[in-house]
């Protein structure tokens, strides 16, 4: 019920749960992973205190633009806090 409420109310969801059971139930649709990426707030606790890790303001997966260019995030680890650099690939115009 909490997942339904979070989706229908268009709110952020604070959890470190990867929600794999929901992902497997919805296998075949790319909606849930994209929704989770944009709405999941993660929590970490350390000696310096509690930190909230907000979702990125834009999707951090490979994307194709309307003009056919591909945008690929370049990173070697899964850190959402690190600013991303992007590789842009375009086809030559004929």
What pLDDT tens digit does each residue of the chain (94 aa) get? 666 677 677 778 877 777 766 655 655 566 777 777 888 888 899 999 999 988 887 777 788 888 889 988 887 666 656 667 888 999 877 7
Q: Are residues 70 and 92 in the same domain?
A: yes
The pTM for the full model equals 0.54
Q: Are residues 65 and 45 in the same domain?
A: no
Phi and psi (nearest 5°) for 68? 90, 5
Q: Which pLDDT score, from 0 to 100, does residue 81 have?
A: 63
Q: Are residues 66 and 40 in the same domain?
A: no
Task: Tell me the C-alpha distance between 9 and 18, whole Å.
Answer: 20
Print the domain residue range for 13: 1-55
Q: Are residues 87 and 72 in the same domain?
A: yes
Task: Tell me how many domains the chain contains.
Answer: 2
Residues 33, 40 contacting (CB under 8 angstroms): no
Q: Are residues 77 and 34 in the same domain?
A: no
């Amino acid at each position: 019920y909490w997942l339904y409420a979070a989706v229908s109310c268009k709110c952020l969801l604070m959890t470190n749960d990867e929600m794999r059971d929901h992902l497997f139930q919805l296998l075949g649709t790319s909606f849930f992973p994209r929704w989770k990426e944009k709405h999941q707030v993660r929590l970490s606790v350390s000696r310096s205190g509690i930190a909230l890790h907000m979702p990125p303001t834009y999707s951090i997966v490979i994307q194709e633009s309307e003009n056919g260019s591909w945008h690929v995030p370049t990173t070697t680890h899964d850190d959402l806090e690190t600013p991303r650099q992007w590789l842009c690939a375009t086809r030559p115009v004929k």
